[in-house]
Structure 1
Amino acid sequence: MAENISKTIAVVGGSGGLGAEICRELAAQGHLVVIGYHSRQAPAEEVAAAIGTAGGKAFTRAVNLCDEQQVLDFLDYTQSCAKEAGSSLGGVVNAAGPAIPLRPITDISSAEFRRIMTTDVEGSFNLLTSAARIMAASGGGPIVQLLTTAVLRTLENDAMSGVPKMAIEGIVRQLARELGPQNVRVNGIAPGVMNVGIVHSSFTADPVAESVIQSCLDRTPMPRMGKPEEISALVAFLLSDAAAYINGQVIGVDGGYSA
């Protein structure tokens, strides 16, 4: 393995649009990236291969965040990769999230609500708390959770984006307060409408979904979608030593939508 690895960063959800860009940015900065995925093995391996072609290092590993043991195994694998590279576990990023319906909350079935809350909230709880315990035992470190601008300002027909992420925001803030003394920093990023594949598919797949996205854009002072690299740059900063006193924050990257 390369001798110039800076830190080893675990990125769960690294096969998605934002997650893939985060992985590429971190690898370009000299970090070894371990990409966690649930069912999207081929896209995850494509991201890892592209990083390798560009001169970086990345590995992939399947993980179901709703299975606590799989989460622990994934983090153990990440630490093993770090040890082999002569680095250390330098951060954990959660960019994972389930597919969500964009429709009025009164049109969401209890089964659908339960599925999304379990997958998103329980899964994030397992990853964030497990990572926090490991980092607290080894001197500390940064954790970054991707949320949504809906935690800062609600939007019609977007409940299943905002409601679970508001619960996850509570976990972020609680961990930041309780584990700050152990030098564990936990922060959230709340993206607005980003120029990634899921947005483009929603524009054409469902009139209600299209209206949600368009409504958010119409209320955004900066008249454009965000760029994935605008998220990955902030993730990299929050993982860096330059952000050593930033803890328990939720930072909107939404062109001013939440202002």
Structure 2
Amino acid sequence: MFGATGGIGAATAGLLAERGCDVIMTYRSRRAEADELADTIRALGHKATTQACDVTDRESVAAVVEAALAEHGRIHTVVSAAGLVFRTRPLIEFTDDEFADVIHTDVLGFFNIAKATVPALRAGGGGSITALITTAVDRTVPTDALSATPKAAVAMMMRMLATEEAANGIRANAVGPGVVEGGMVPPMRDADEATRDLLALAVEQTPLARLALPEEVAEGIVFLASTKASYITGQRLMVDGGLAT
């Protein structure tokens, strides 16, 4: 589980454990949150460990895979939910560093995860990779370029993996949340008026007229990762309250 300290990541890790998976959860800097989540999972009788990981560093990602194989013998489920919290604004107003940071974290990060985990999944007889993207890859949301642009690239890499690795028993899918109660949303409520208006507009344009709960998004991720979705690959499931329709 790459990226377990965010709202969706934590909910997904907990649900994977509840459904019977031994979970290795990564964090970049928020060790205390990751360790607390692992303690909670273990208290419920499940197995969970944590490990620091910078997904932009190939060796750091490889170390997570090596630890998983050493502890469990094989890998059957990979979830990519790592990402940055960033501000929203028109595309040309982002700085070079802001744009580069999300490209490195989201695009290069997912590439590194795929490079490290696909050989392990092949060796184990197959499995699944599920990537967290965004509903904005299907609906153009003004000022949301730093989310939609890199996640669109991740969605395409996911489709390539689904096509190329099907013969190896590997499925690849993606889940695109809409506006979620967690992550970037609390800071948006304390931001400038334009940002607050954008959040209100997103809720207004969502047919279900509310924010998603992290647990609702986690259900979609865990379903696609499970054997219940054994004939589903190369797909994008939008858990967005109808926002992209």
For Structure 1 versus Structure 2, the TM-score category normalised by the shorter chain is over 0.9
Q: Distance in 1 between matches of 2:188 and 2:44?
A: 31
Q: Does 1:136 align with 2:126?
A: no
- Matched residue type, 2:49: F
Contact between 2:75 and 2:124, CA under 8 Å: does it hold in 1? Answer: no
* Residue in structure 1 matched with residue 211 of structure 2 by the alignment: 225
Matches within 5 A, 1:180-199: 180-199=166-185
Assess if the C-alpha contact under 8 Å between 1:98 and 1:116 holds in 2: yes
Task: After TM superposition, give the deviation of residue 214 of structure 1 in Å.
Answer: 1.8
Does structure 2 conserve the Cα–Cα contact (< 8 Å) formed by 1:93 and 1:144?
yes
Identity %: 36
Pick aligned residue for 1:243 from 225, 229, 238? 229
Residues in 2 aligned to 1:208 and 1:166: alpha-carbon distance in whole angstroms: 25
Structure 1 residue 133: Cα displacement: 2.4
CA distance in 1, matches of 2:113, 2:79: 9
Deviation per residue, 1:38-89 (Å, 9 max, x gap): 1111110011011112222110001111111111111111112213xxxx41
Matches for 1:17-36 after TM superposition, within 5 Å:
17-36=7-26
Letter in 2 for 1:99: V
> Separation in 2 of the partners of 1:200 and 1:35?
24
How far 1:197 sits from its partner (Å)?
Answer: 4.6
8 A Cα contact 1:27 1:57, kept in partner = yes
Q: Does 1:160 align with 2:160?
A: no
Q: Which runs of 5+ in 1 are unaligned?
A: 1-10
Q: Do structure 1's residue 60 and structure 2's residue 50 form an aligned pair?
A: yes
Give the alignment of 1:5-154 within 5 angstroms: 11-83=1-73, 88-154=74-140
Q: 1 CA distance for matches of 2:99 and 2:150?
A: 9
- Partner amino acid, structure 2, of 1:101: R
Structure 1 SS opposite 2:71:
helix
Distance 2:9 2:193 in 1: 26
Cα displacement (A) at 1:228: 1.4
CA distance in 1, matches of 2:129, 2:201: 31
Aligned equivalents of 1:44, 1:241: Cα separation in 2? 27
CA–CA distance in 2 between the matches of 1:207 and 1:124?
33
Deviation at 1:170, TM superposition (A): 1.0
Describe the SS at the equivalent of 2:25.
strand
Q: Which amino acid aligns with 2:70?
A: S
SS in structure 2 of the partner of residue 93 of structure 1: strand
> Who is 1:7 aligned against?
none
Tell me the distance in 1 between the aligned counterparts of 2:206 and 2:116: 36
Alpha-carbon separation, structure 2, partners of 1:96 and 1:114: 16
Q: Secondary structure at the match of 1:246?
A: coil
**Does the 8 A contact of 1:63 with 1:70 survive in 2?**
yes
**Is 2:85–2:184's contact at 8 Å kept on the other side of the alignment?**
no
Partners of 1:212 and 1:177 lie apart in 2 by 37
Q: Say if 2:86 and 2:184, in contact at 8 Å, map to a contact too.
A: no
- Give the TM-score taking structure 2 as reference length: 0.96
In 2: Cα distance, 1:43 partner to 1:96 partner: 14
Alignment coverage as a number of residue pairs:
245
